[in-house]
Structure 1
């Protein structure tokens, strides 16, 4: 296993080191450059500071931008809600792994990946990977486990994007900071820059980039678009709070008579100042307090609310592509359905992007480590199952299979969600019941009348065919009935004895065939007559 692993290289031709694959190399370190303690650039944010933060990110220092993106998500409830909706809608989707081809080896590879992904923490890990929707990029470290002799995933912990930089030559290649330990020894076999940045270890990271717009990863996330709207909304909310505090209560004016002493004035001022909080005060009888209410408080509050709601709608459009599923607006059911379809389009796009990332950074390295290099690899797909009209499909198959349509039975197992039973398993079967008169099932060989009648079911005019073959079909039954009656008459001594013996007779197979044949003939004649009645 060790020799096989040492010969494996990543997509860039870089060899891997087993000792680095099975331990964490990008975790936080208190006192180091990868500190879990974040800054707060959103405090006192203004247009000049925001512009400087964005310019620094473009120039290769995205630290403050990533901190700001996290704070925006923390402080804006609407943005956190719509962004969380978008991330969770993909994180909880079904995951399917398709084999590279129909060979047994390819099927085994697909089963290995599918079994390895059945982890309780996978949905949470996918949610963290989808942090790229907001920040433009996200990182998850792959911690491999070889304790049982196979390559399995121990965990996919999220790594703070603040601990990464981008190569200044292209602006897209991610670099990990803090590649030296406390003694200044490199923790990687890759080249390290003088500032302690290195390329990511091969087969150690899932790097997710989901773009809201074309451009560099640090400029393609939703947080870049939302930052300005969030800042203006913060200004509006601050002014709204000041307005509410100032005009939410009436202005208190205290009046004192001429000649009042300083002590009287102080008493009146304390009463006016404290009346808002205490809602109670005492003043001399000669003094007066008036409450003056602003006439435009309602109009002013509406202005702030409308502006905040408008900015929220713009954020909804940026994140979900629509507003009907997040804001109570008029439009009716049809508009709501249309907007929901837009959201589903975005969901499919995110799911396909996430599938491509996992196939590149997780599935392919996993197969290489476990089975060695392959020509073709299994493919992972994230998405909702396609809506199919099961009833229409089954009814169509019932009609088309007799005409030559070839369908694998496993197709209908997949369609109905019923697994194919293993060999030797107990399976349900149709219950065996008595054959009803007139049925078209397989008949015993000793029922010639019904067998002949079954052969007539596909003729053009079954009534005419039945009439033509009446003697052949009815002969055995009528002959048997005549023979039974003749035997009774020949052996009876009186009419009373004939009557008693006939009542004791039980119909045999021939007579039952005749009775069943007559009932079916009557039904067919009835249906044929109805079919020949012209439509009104």
Structure 2
């Protein structure tokens, strides 16, 4: 007899909750029979790590502000409260972990709640591994455990999703796009290594005379092996050794290299949207580079919107709990690159005038300019006073030219003043009238 039907029903739901799993529709994962942990292992690949860090830098390295939702006093109180709340947040680490949503489709971010002076605070904001979670048939976020599953508590997690849809709440996984290129390239390197071991050394051909004994043949073969191993060998006068190269082998090696580079390009294109950032190569043009950098800027803005959206949801909850739903929540905003460029350029101009000089790496990192298009031209050496050092002859010629121009300009000014004096005197009816005319015309000079 069931004493508590509701409890029994709840136990059954918990027991069979794992049957309510909505399968991840990612085709690549399904065909390869892998999951998010396998995709995470792709970070061990040097090319993936390089281009992924480049994409991360566009978000983690960007400046941001927290702006009030409105100009009224309550909104300003809310923004001051939020700024104080997040003062100890490790934003680079949090934002970098949030980007799991781009790499693996989604990322639940846990809110660690606490109270101080009867005010609810998000003490910390911690992104969790997406492989710990799944979605139910009703599209609810579920926490996965070893024996069962449970729906995550309300207002405990902020869910970040990369291009989700009704059919696919798991989002689009960027790293699933690079799984096969990485796999193919790794296997290609293995076959390339075998090719080098087999055909990298030159082919050495030895001839022996007809009727040579087996012992003579073995001696010749041993001598050929010594040539390969030690580059030295000895033999009788009638021995013949020929070192042959093979153009076909050289072409085969180029095929392996082309295959390797093609997979690297696919990885860069999938993660960065273009290839010039990670590998400019011997081809390309300035126009192509500018287009590719614009693509990178657009992708960076898309990543920033995902991150800013998560913080804005957090700020909305904090504002609602402490100040009421009617108070506009603060906004997390990334600084626009154009504004940063203008402010930084004005500052750098001041530093340049003070004597600071910047290299191509600095200009590329802070102004998003392709290093291939930067040419840093250092100024000629200057004296401590700031004047250029000339030879004595050049110095004299420069001084003569300068004083000559001053004399000519000064003479023209004096002639103009004298003409004014003459005009005033010619119009005057008395000495006092002439003095007054001159003083009125040139009162600023007297």
TM-score, with normalisation over the residues of structure 1? 0.52
Partner of 2:230: 279
The superposition leaves residues 360-414 of structure 1 with CA deviations (integer Å, 9 ceiling, x where unpaired) of 2x212222444454453222222425439989xxxxxxxxxxxxxxxxxxxxxxx
The 1:106–1:385 alpha-carbon spacing in structure 2 relative to 1, beyond 3 Å, is farther
CA distance in 2, matches of 1:143, 1:69: 28
Partner of 1:259: 213
Instruction: Give how far 1:74 is off.
Output: 1.7
Greater mean alpha carbon deviation, residues 291-300 or residues 208-217: 208-217
The 1:213–1:255 alpha-carbon spacing in structure 2 relative to 1, beyond 3 Å, is farther
Q: What aligned pairs does 1:147-166 form with structure 2 within 5 A after superposition?
A: 150-166=119-135
Of residues 68, 75, 97 in structure 2, which corresponds to 1:99?
68
Confirm or deny that 1:226 pairs with 2:193.
no
The 1:518–1:349 alpha-carbon spacing in structure 2 relative to 1, beyond 3 Å, is same
The 1:96–1:81 alpha-carbon spacing in structure 2 relative to 1, beyond 3 Å, is same
Confirm or deny that 1:83 pairs with 2:59.
no
Partner of 1:61: none
Confirm or deny that 1:325 pairs with 2:277.
yes
Whether contact under 8 Å (2:192, 2:256) holds in the other structure is: yes
TM-score, with normalisation over the residues of structure 2? 0.62
CA distance in 2, matches of 1:116, 1:159: 21
Of residues 283, 296, 299 in structure 2, which corresponds to 1:346?
299
Whether contact under 8 Å (2:269, 2:275) holds in the other structure is: yes
Whether contact under 8 Å (1:351, 1:383) holds in the other structure is: no
Whether contact under 8 Å (1:249, 1:293) holds in the other structure is: no
Partner of 2:101: 132
Q: What aligned pairs does 1:411-426 form with structure 2 within 5 A after superposition?
A: none
Confirm or deny that 1:71 pairs with 2:71.
no
CA distance in 2, matches of 1:86, 1:386: 18
Q: Write 1 or 2 for the structure with the bigger share of helix.
A: 2
Instruction: Give how far 1:66 is off.
Output: 0.7
The higher radius of gyration belongs to 1
Instruction: Give the secondary structure class of the aligned counterpart of 2:333.
Output: strand
CA distance in 2, matches of 1:271, 1:210: 64
The superposition leaves residues 202-222 of structure 1 with CA deviations (integer Å, 9 ceiling, x where unpaired) of 333332222399962546121
Confirm or deny that 1:54 pairs with 2:30.
yes
The 1:260–1:388 alpha-carbon spacing in structure 2 relative to 1, beyond 3 Å, is closer
Alignment gaps of 5+ in structure 2: 1-25, 344-423, 425-431
**What is the alpha-carbon root mean square deviation over aligned residues?**
4.1
Partner of 2:144: 177
CA distance in 1, matches of 2:255, 2:179: 22
The 1:358–1:260 alpha-carbon spacing in structure 2 relative to 1, beyond 3 Å, is same
Partner of 1:497: none
Q: What aligned pairs does 1:134-533 form with structure 2 within 5 A after superposition?
A: 134-146=103-115, 150-167=119-136, 169-170=137-138, 172-178=139-145, 195-211=147-163, 216-218=168-170, 220-252=172-204, 258-261=212-215, 265=218, 278-279=229-230, 291-329=243-281, 330-360=283-313, 362-384=314-336, 386-387=338-339, 517-519=440-442
The 1:320–1:518 alpha-carbon spacing in structure 2 relative to 1, beyond 3 Å, is same
The 1:285–1:198 alpha-carbon spacing in structure 2 relative to 1, beyond 3 Å, is farther
CA distance in 2, matches of 1:113, 1:220: 32
CA distance in 2, matches of 1:213, 1:240: 42
The 1:274–1:322 alpha-carbon spacing in structure 2 relative to 1, beyond 3 Å, is same
- State the structure with bigger RCO (CA 8 A, min sep 6), 1 or 2: 2
The 1:355–1:390 alpha-carbon spacing in structure 2 relative to 1, beyond 3 Å, is closer
CA distance in 1, matches of 2:439, 2:36: 84
Instruction: Give how far 1:70 is off.
Output: 1.4
CA distance in 2, matches of 1:384, 1:125: 20
Give the number of equivalent residue pairs.
Answer: 331
Alignment gaps of 5+ in structure 1: 1-49, 58-63, 181-194, 392-466, 468-477, 483-510, 523-536
The 1:149–1:249 alpha-carbon spacing in structure 2 relative to 1, beyond 3 Å, is farther
Instruction: Give the secondary structure class of the aligned counterpart of 2:336.
Output: coil
The 1:260–1:208 alpha-carbon spacing in structure 2 relative to 1, beyond 3 Å, is same
